[in-house]
Structure 1
Amino acid sequence: MDILNAWIALIPVTLAQSLILSFVVLAVMLPFRILSFPDLTSEGSYPLGGCVCAVALIAGVPPLPALLIAATAGFLAGCATAFIHLRFRIHTLLAGILITTMLYSINLRIMGKANQPIFSEPKVYDWLSPLSLSASWTKIVLVGVLALVTYLVLNLWFTTERGTAMRAVGANSDMAEAQGINVWRATIGGIGLAGAFSAFGGGLMVQSQGFADVNMGLGVLINALAALMIGEAILGRTTLRRQLAAPFVGAVVYYQLISVCLAAGLPPGDLKIATGVFVLVMLAAPTMGFRRRNAGTPAKESFRE
């Protein structure tokens, strides 16, 4: 009963955090599933967005424009990764690692130090202060609306001509190029969009926690991957709507699993082990199920001429 009460008490906090980080999960999904472009840039563009947002707020920029500036910085980071891959034929993962490594120094240059508090600066969450909601529920309502709008807009955009062209590039870039689709524009735009979502999530998180840190992206990629695998296991990937909804559903479910671990008394330092186990189970489950279904099935005879 104590575990249940502790978990219920954690729900608002983890739900708010999961909705914010669902934008990072979306940033991982877009290159991986839509463009067939495995990318690690999200781990660098997430703190980039946070650092840029913090500096913009301190400079007097209103909260929403500060988020848009952060998203623009993430977009440029994603475009840089895609350009390096396309121009120099460097593997997507290595290109992402290079950009993420360089972004650490860039983030230090942007803030001038490793950590920047913004407790006294205005936040987007202040917009809902007239509703007299708690801090957690204010974040849940605001970020939940943003997540819903993002899902609807993406669902609509991927059915347009350019959105379909981007999906075609991910399905078969050679065939897409043969059909007259600009592969470079679709790839750079898609990876840039993913970087923008990751940086936008970083800006939301900085405004939520009240400070920016150059190390805030450490481990966020594996968390996002775990959430994506869980979301896809729940919803599947058979339709575009399910694929776009998987990051948001997966983020919520994943962080509730994390809150259960915390409520059960698991030390915070062991959460990375729990995350790794979640990812392993999600990745191995389809293979193990396939093996069980085919266990005992006699092998077909080889074709003979």
Structure 2
Amino acid sequence: MSIILSSISQGLLWSIMAIGVYLTFRILDIADLTAEGSFPLGAAVCASLIVAGLSPLLATFIAMFCGMLAGAISGLLHTKLKIPALLTGILTMTGLYSINLRIMGKANVTLLGKETLMRTVQSYGLTSRMSVLIVGLFASLLVIFLLYLFFNTETGLAIRSTGDNEAMSEANGINTNAMKIIGYMLSNGLIALSGALIAQNNSYADIGMGIGTIVIGLASVIIGEVLFRQLSFAKRLLTIVIGSIVYRLIIDLVLQLGIDPQDIKLFSALILAIALSTPLIKKKTKVKLKNTTK
């Protein structure tokens, strides 16, 4: 039960990052590696501001805003300078490594003894795990609700149209470059928000905590898509949260089996590879069953 509760609470915090990855990966159909830099950016900004004496809530919002700025840079590089999306993400991610070091002043910043959102909730008599669960649940549901409202507006529908068919969107007078930039900003803002929450939960921000972020995000998205197919936008966001929880549960169970923690990144890549290949395996299995029945 403790493993399940831990997986749910951690999965809720990571799901916000997975939703951010989903916005570029599925909505805009762009492979954006900026996530590997904007995630630790959110953690670095939030931790540094909390250490400086700022309130955790305000520090979290500022961290999210900084993530949006990082996304805007990637968007401008991709749309204005016509740099391929994959290279754009690599460029921004590489530049953010030095920026994150500048923000923290060192490789990591500790939050031990500092006030965080989790400790604020915990002060009302809740356990540490329950406080993480409440913060994660509230943040993830709020993000889903706000995204649902936004993507039903004219701008939100234009962003979805740009990802579905860019040429047709341009023909209908949509400024596709502007829509891509907004998409980049929303995506990396959410990823930085997740980084800020994870840093507060872990009580530290580290320069290397963004390594493998894109794999975790994609795994959560793909697991949700494999488990639940052909859903509306709001329900799809909820399945990403479920996918994130399932992913964390798998990782926690693997650790309980005695797998060396340094092999977790490799195991994460294997999970993603299996999740990505599942639709093809199902399709081939169905074809073989049809052939055998004939």
Question: Which residue of structure 2 lines up, in the alignment, with residue 216 of structure 1?
Answer: 209
Shift of 1:273: 3.0
2:66 and 2:33 map into 1 onto residues whose CA distance is 16
Question: Which residue of structure 2 lines up, in the alignment, with residue 113 of structure 1?
Answer: 106
Question: Which residue of structure 2 lines up, in the alignment, with residue 188 of structure 1?
Answer: 181
Question: Which residue of structure 2 lines up, in the alignment, with residue 100 of structure 1?
Answer: 93
Query: Is residue 52 of structure 1 aligned with residue 48 of structure 2?
Result: no
Question: Which residue of structure 2 lines up, in the alignment, with residue 301 of structure 1?
Answer: none
1:69 and 1:190 map into 2 onto residues whose CA distance is 19
Counterparts in 2 of 1:124-273, with a 5 A limit? 124-273=117-266
Shift of 1:231: 1.0
Instruction: Provide closer, same or farther for how the CA distance between residues 100 and 237 of structure 1 changes in structure 2, counting only shifts above 3 A.
Output: farther
Shift of 1:95: 0.3
- TM-score, normalization by structure 2: 0.94
Shift of 1:296: 7.8
Number of residues of Structure 1 aligned to a counterpart in Structure 2: 291
> Partner amino acid for 1:267?
D
2:150 and 2:140 map into 1 onto residues whose CA distance is 15
SS at match of 2:205: strand
2:83 and 2:287 map into 1 onto residues whose CA distance is 39
Shift of 1:276: 2.1
1:58 and 1:130 map into 2 onto residues whose CA distance is 19
Instruction: Provide closer, same or farther for how the CA distance between residues 273 and 214 of structure 1 changes in structure 2, counting only shifts above 3 A.
Output: closer
Q: Which has the larger radius of gyration?
A: 1
Cα deviations across residues 273-297 of structure 1 (Å, max 9, x unaligned)?
3222211211111112212223387
Shift of 1:225: 1.3
SS at match of 2:109: strand
- TM-score, normalization by structure 1: 0.91
State the 4+ residue runs in structure 1 displaced beyond 4 angstroms: none
1:38 and 1:246 map into 2 onto residues whose CA distance is 20
Deviates more, 1:147-156 or 1:162-171: 147-156
Cα deviations across residues 123-142 of structure 1 (Å, max 9, x unaligned)?
11233235311101111012
Equivalent residues of 1:206, 1:212 under 8 A apart: yes
Cα deviations across residues 56-114 of structure 1 (Å, max 9, x unaligned)?
11222111110111001100111111110111211101100110011000011111111
Instruction: Provide closer, same or farther for how the CA distance between residues 134 and 220 of structure 1 changes in structure 2, counting only shifts above 3 A.
Output: same
1:94 and 1:67 map into 2 onto residues whose CA distance is 29
Note the aligned Cα RMSD (angstroms).
1.6
2:153 and 2:81 map into 1 onto residues whose CA distance is 30
Question: Which residue of structure 1 lines up, in the alignment, with residue 29 of structure 2?
Answer: 36
SS at match of 2:10: helix
SS at match of 1:212: strand
1:237 and 1:85 map into 2 onto residues whose CA distance is 30
Question: Which residue of structure 1 lines up, in the alignment, with residue 80 of structure 2?
Answer: 87
2:266 and 2:205 map into 1 onto residues whose CA distance is 26
> Partner amino acid for 1:234?
L
Equivalent residues of 2:44, 2:104 under 8 A apart: yes
Question: Which residue of structure 2 lines up, in the alignment, with residue 3 of structure 1?
Answer: none
Instruction: Provide closer, same or farther for how the CA distance between residues 57 and 289 of structure 1 changes in structure 2, counting only shifts above 3 A.
Output: same
Equivalent residues of 1:71, 1:196 under 8 A apart: yes
Shift of 1:35: 0.9
Shift of 1:242: 3.0
Question: Which residue of structure 1 lines up, in the alignment, with residue 57 of structure 2?
Answer: 64
1:294 and 1:193 map into 2 onto residues whose CA distance is 40
